Amino acid sequence: MKLLRQTLYIIAVVLAAVEYIYPSQAFAWGRGHFYVIGTGPAGPEMATLQALETIKKMDYIIASARKAKLFADSHL
């Protein structure tokens, strides 16, 4: 158990050192958000208001052609 704890500690220290030496580019690019929104079979008529507001704010949407057409026709 002591060996496992020491190994995990060494791994954590090494990862912290690597992050310090080679900082992540995420800070330079800014952090975005990734949302997964389930729309169900009905489309925008049955979506929650929070889901619709989030969809309006999105830069990119990945959806099937059928779902994209349903939401595009609803003028979001």
Cβ neighbours of residue 24 closer than 8 Å, sequence gap 6 or more: none
Residue type, 38: G
Q: Which residue has the tokens 């990734």?
A: 34
Looking at residue 66, its pLDDT comes to: 81
Confidence grade of residue 2 (pLDDT, cut at 50, 70, 90): confident
Predicted TM-score of the model (pTM): 0.48
Nearest C-alpha neighbor of 75 from the set 55, 59, 60, 46: 55
Confidence grade of residue 45 (pLDDT, cut at 50, 70, 90): confident
Helix or strand (DSSP H, E) at 29: helix 26-29
